[in-house]
Amino acid sequence: MKVKLEDDPYKTRVIDGRTPEFYVTQRLTLHDASGNLVVLGIRSKHPSPASCTLPAMVHKYRPGEIIYVASARIARTFQHYGSKFTRLSHVKLINLNLSQSRQ
C-alpha cells in the first residue's frame, strides 16, 4: 500500500484573515486479494492547521495496513507505465477493531 497526502484546493480557506484551514485527502494505492492495483481517495471531514498534515481526529492509513471495503463503485480503469489500475468511488469501508491497529 502507498499513501499520499494532498490538500483539497477547493476547500482550503483562511479564517479571520490569518488562520488557514486545510482539508487533506489521503490517496491510497492498494493491492487487492487478486493482486490488482486499486486507487481510492479518502477525504478528511475535519480541517487541519497545517498543509498536508492530517488532523488528530482522522485515521492515518499506513503501509501494510489491511483495509476492508464493504462496497464501492468502479469509477475508471486505466493503465499507467504498463500497470493496470482501478479507481474506486463511493467507497464504504468496514471498521474492524480500529483500537487494536493503533497500538
For every residue of the chain, DSSP letters joined together read: -EEEEEE-TTT-EEETTTEEEB-EEEEEEEE-TTS-EEEEEEE-SS-BSSTT---TTSPPP-TT---EEEEEEEEEEEEETTEEEEEEEEEEEE---HHHHT-
Q: How many angstroms separate the CA atoms of 34 and 43, rounded? A: 26
Q: How confident is the model at residue 79 (pLDDT cuts 50, 70, 90)?
A: confident
Per residue in 35-72, pLDDT (tens digit) is 788 888 899 999 999 999 999 888 899 988 888 889 99
CA atoms within 13 A on the CB side of 87: 8
Per-domain boundaries in the chain: 2-101
Question: Do strands 24-31 and 37-43 pair parallel, antiparallel, or not at all (unpaired)?
Answer: antiparallel
Per residue in 18-27, pLDDT (tens digit) is 999 999 999 9
* Neighbour-count burial of 44, counting CB atoms closer than 10 A to its CB (0-12 exposed, 13-18 middle, 19+ buried): buried
Q: What is the value of pTM for the model shown? A: 0.75
DSSP 58: S
